Amino acid sequence: MQNELYYDVAVIGAGTSGLYTALSLTDDYATTGGYACKVAVFSKKSVLGCSSALAQGGIAAVLDDKNDRFDLHYNDSLIAGGFENNPAALRVLVESAPDEISRLVKYGAELDKDRDGNYSLGLEGGHSRRRIVHVKDRTGLAVVNALWAAANARDNIKVFENAPVSDIIKGDGYYAVCTGTTLVYAKYVVMATGGIGKLWKYSTNSDIATGDGIYLAAKLGADIKQLSYIQFHPTGFKGGTDGRVLLISEAVRGDGGILLNGDYERFMDKYDSRKELAPRDVVSRSILAEQNAKGNDKFYIDISHKDPDWVMTRFPFIYGEVLKNGYDITREPIPIYPCQHYLMGGIAVDEDGETDTANLFATGECACTGVHGRNRLASNSLLEALVFPHRIADTIKKRGFDVPVIKDIAPPRVTDTNENIEAIQELMQKAFFVNPNIELCKQGYNTLDDTAISFCAKRIFEELING
């Protein structure tokens, strides 16, 4: 190693949860005994290359006291999650939402408002009330840009872009984070590395979502659970090229979009009384059931019955991206199909985001707080990426920033997160797409080793095979 740097906290990942952690740690210089916390944030590629920046819908929060209540948001989340949610963590998530939205705005996020100056609240699948704050259909990008600008304005936050972490070594009271030719020492490490979408051939996730943060946490002794709790979004755009799938936001259905089969017939009423507003897992399974019934894998979402100017104003990004591929959402149905979208499991943490390994925390999609249960309610993910980073920061600040004594450490390992990725993607797409094929899972398990992406795939297969 050529360079050695010293920080109090190393945050691995620079999406919403990573940047929000850094800002929460350094609010008012995050003084503990008069000491200003120094935070290093590592971005695998550019900051805007994170999956957070791709989030479209918004952030779920009870902000309309006249028409909404915490218990309604809580119950909607339980229903969507198959009642497998962690009740205590879910209560924290829901009840912390209004305060975190206020903090987010103070950091510079400009959320859409109506003519009366109130937040414009959207409706999405699984929600019983309008409670989604948003920035048109690019909420994630607006949030990341605001947080990144706020972080860059603080001299005790350093964001390292294009700095993939290849190893983390646990010392006596400290961690050594390895990236390139640099070794960064820190008392605390916060994993905020996102999901595992690149295990699948078709996913809405950024290319950085390879599960390496989960792999590194496991190597440090952290418990990993529920990696097989995968959400397949029902409306990935099917008219583009191979690679990352363009998401057609849940908000399109919330604002009146209807689903059609290959005969251009509406079909969701055959499978669920909530129709298009059923939770994502229900809609994805319904699409596959309709495919089997009809022998046709063509499906569409249609919002062309709405005023074209309104559609282009509400969904400018989706309108523009789909138009590039020859479809006009204001004039015609557009082809969609389910694809991998989100991980509910991950690095096991408590309600303060801490793992069972001392001073190792995790937050965002790589963490398993239990708030989502088996299936995430729409727009609870960006909320989770605000609530638990704040709690992590509070826990760390209370614990203090005494400087550990650095001793010799073992040489770093090299974590290859792209080994044989195409073969793994083909395997996962066939073995586990919406409904798992257990026989293919068993066959695929024997072809995998324990490195990065293969590690995560193997753990998924283990959980599915063992029930």
What is the token pair recorded at 30?
Answer: 């995050």
Q: What are phi and psi of 454, to 5 degrees?
A: -60, -35
Rounded CA separation 309/266 (Å): 24
What is the token pair recorded at 79?
Answer: 């229903």
Rounded CA separation 152/208 (Å): 22
H-helix or E-strand containing 170? strand 167-170
What is the token pair recorded at 1?
Answer: 């190693």
Question: CB-side exposure of 449: number of CA atoms within 13 Å?
Answer: 10
Rounded CA separation 117/134 (Å): 14
Instruction: Tell me how crowded residue 407 is: count the other CB atoms within 10 A of its CB.
Output: 9
- To the query of whether residue 280 is one of the catalytic residues in this protein, the response is yes
Q: Which of 244, 253, 280, 374 is flagged as catalytic?
A: 280
Rounded CA separation 189/193 (Å): 12
Helices assigned H by DSSP within 179-279: 212-219, 250-254
- The sign of the CA dihedral 291, 295, 296, 301 is negative
Rounded CA separation 138/142 (Å): 6
Inter-residue contact 251 to 58 (CB < 8 Å): yes
Question: CB-side exposure of 414: number of CA atoms within 13 Å?
Answer: 6
Rounded CA separation 357/363 (Å): 14
Q: Which of 165, 111, 133, 54 is nearest to 383 (CA)?
A: 133
Rounded CA separation 257/345 (Å): 30
Q: Where are the beta strands (DSSP E) in 270-416?
A: 299-302, 334-343, 346-348, 360-362, 367-368
Inter-residue contact 192 to 366 (CB < 8 Å): yes
What amino acid occupies position 11?
V
Q: Give the catalytic positions in this structure.
A: 280
